[in-house]
Structure 1
Amino acid sequence: MIKNVVFDFGGVLMDWDPRYFFRTYFNDDEKMEWFLKNIAKDEWNIEQDRGRTLKEGTELLVMQHPEWEKEIRAYYDNWTVMLKSDIPKNVAILRKLKGKYDLYGLTNWSAETFPYALENYDFFRLFEGKIVVSGTEKLIKPDKEIFEVLLNRYNLKSEDSVFIDDNVKNIATAKNLGFKTVHIQPETDLGAELRNFNLIF
């Protein structure tokens, strides 16, 4: 029987994308996409999610690509613009689950930027602090170790839990650990997926 619902945040409850800032900055989609694919890559950003400081990550990238210094420094200076909004349809489901199931967060997020989201979006309070943040733990999904931090810290059993994420690699790890899973894609109806596991809300 499902007792726990574990949410990823970015792409599930929060709409974050560097394009929300850089589209206006560059005013040239082709140049923007080249910059994000070749300079400020996901692989670079994820190291800040793993615990590297924003300053260290920025300086390292500037050293590697000095001709892009202005754009690189603009990345974290304008990070809050990239955090466009919550995702209302999924936040609505989260609110309905509160009080019926135990709610947890497991997120790849910089320890330096996560407090902004925590302060500015009230739905995070529904988790009552039961959130594991990669940047704080110095561990990151899809590595199983961060899932084990969640399970051990809150004395959870994976077989009693549903894990929701938009990243297929994270979903694969969760499945291997025994979680029920919901892979969020643009067309996913989260409520319907959870009801398939007999959740009532």
Structure 2
Amino acid sequence: MIKTLVFDFGDVFLNLDKKATALNLAKFDLLNFTPEMWEINKKYEKGLISTESFIDFYIEEKEDLTEESFVNAWNSILINFPEHRLDFIQNLKKKQEYKLILLSNTNDLHIKWVEENIPEYPEFKACFDQFYLSHEINYRKPDTEIFQFVLEENNLIAEETFFVDDTEEHTISASKLGLKVWHLDPNKDDIIELFNKKSDLF
């Protein structure tokens, strides 16, 4: 019996354009992330380096890249928050049938953009019993440590916990610990369909 629902944020509730950042950085001849860049990005998502250091790293890579242009490119992945998804999570909260947890790989720049541009964000955040952002807890998906952290922090039983994420690598990692999972495809699925598409588990 499922007692806890754990949700990703981006492309589960918040719409993303995952190609946008790379396309916008390409305008500055930054065509591909190097292994060093991927490592910096991961550290930033874990909150292990400051926003200032993160921005400086990229500006030093490309002389014509300004702080403003980099931040705009970095945040261009973020699109909007459909109202019907807020209704969905608010209705879930009202029913009080499940413990609700958010677990998102994100970073300080992205969350600041969300706070400034998504008016529904405070209402959305208030729906959750726990709200875990990777840069605040120093863990990131798909590392198993992040799922172990959530289970232990909340005294959860893995088999009674259901996890939704748009990245298959993340759901595979969670399932190895015993969590029930749904790899949501944002091109054809919507979180509001959860109880219809996964009716066998509820």
Same fold (TM over 0.5): yes
Query: Which residue pairs with 1:104 in the alignment?
Result: 101
* 1:1-44 residue CA offsets vs partner (Å, 9 max, x unmatched): 00110001011111233766887x78xxxx459746347x6664
Which residue number in structure 1 is paired with residue 146 of structure 2?
Answer: 146
Sort the Cα spacing of 1:157 and 1:108 in 2 relative to 1 into closer, same or farther, 3 A: same
Structure 2, unpaired ranges of 5+: none
Distance 2:17 2:131 in 1: 22
Matched, 1:197 2:192: no
1:85 match: 80
The TM-score with structure 1 as length reference comes to: 0.77
CA shift, 1:194, in A, is: 3.2
Q: Does the aligned pair in 2 maintain the 1:140–1:146 contact within 8 Å?
A: yes
- AA aligned to 1:84 is I
Give the one of 40, 53, 57 matched to 2:54.
57
- Unpaired runs of 5+ residues, structure 1, are none
Identity rate, percent: 25
Shift of 1:110: 1.4
Aligned partner of 2:56: which letter? E
TM-score by length of 2: 0.77
1:47 aligns with 2:43: yes
Hey, what does 1:76 align to over in structure 2? 71
Distance 1:79 1:158, change over 3 A: same
Q: Answer yes or no: is the 8 Å Cα contact 2:59–2:65 preserved in 1.
A: yes
Residues 20-39 of structure 1: pairs in structure 2 closer than 5 A? 31-32=26-27, 35=30, 37-38=32-33
Query: Which residue of the partner structure matches residue 114 of structure 2?
Result: 117
Aligned length: 190
Compared with structure 1, are the counterparts of its residues 37 and 79 closer, same or farther at alpha carbon in structure 2 (3 Å cutoff)? Answer: closer
SS at match of 2:156: coil
- For the aligned residue pairs, the C-alpha RMSD in angstroms reads 3.1
Q: Do 1:6 and 1:164's aligned partners in 2 also have CA atoms closer than 8 Å?
A: yes
SS of 2:10's equivalent?
coil
Whole-angstrom distance in 2 between the partners of 1:85 and 1:43: 28
